[in-house]
Amino acid sequence: MGEQTRQDQASPEVRERIRASFERQGLMAHLGARITHIAPGRVHIVLPSRPELTQQHGYFHAGATSAIADTAGGYAAYTLFPDNTEVLTVEYKINLLAPATGDHLEAVGTVLKSGRTLTVCQLEVFGVGSERRTLVANGQQTLIRVARPER
């Protein structure tokens, strides 16, 4: 998707549905992640750096990197789903390209193909510092659309 699409915002109803669902995610709250951008087929999640998110060398842990990538892709897909549905990850693969360092990580999930049942997303995670933005992980994910359970 081009630079123009990056500027687009999802409708207020879709943004509210995504934010409400994201707020119910215990892991994202535990990590301290937040959604910073919601557009049709594209979601950005930021994860600020703190010692609890690192591995033994001081880099962001691959588990934290992967979790925000998976979540960004899931919500990117969810922006294109009907209101009476939910999203679940079927599978994802991530390549760790560089040590994940910086003031924060930014995960970007982008829909590559949205289908009636399965959706495929591209996952990118950037390490962001005051002077640099480095691609630290890249992956792909398949998601399934499911009916929203009655509550």
Phi, psi of 133 (to 5 degrees): -135, 110
Mean residue pLDDT of the chain comes to 94
In whole angstroms, give the CA distance from residue 59 to residue 55: 6
Query: How confident is the model over 63-110, as pLDDT tens digits?
Result: 999 999 999 999 999 999 999 999 999 999 999 999 999 999 999 999
Domains of the chain, CATH where assigned: 3-147 (3.10.129.10)
Residue 111: CB atoms within 10 A of its CB come to 22
Q: How confident is the model at residue 1 (pLDDT cuts 50, 70, 90)?
A: very low
Q: What is the pTM of this model?
A: 0.92
In three-state secondary structure terms, 115 is coil
In whole angstroms, give the CA distance from residue 62 to residue 136: 10
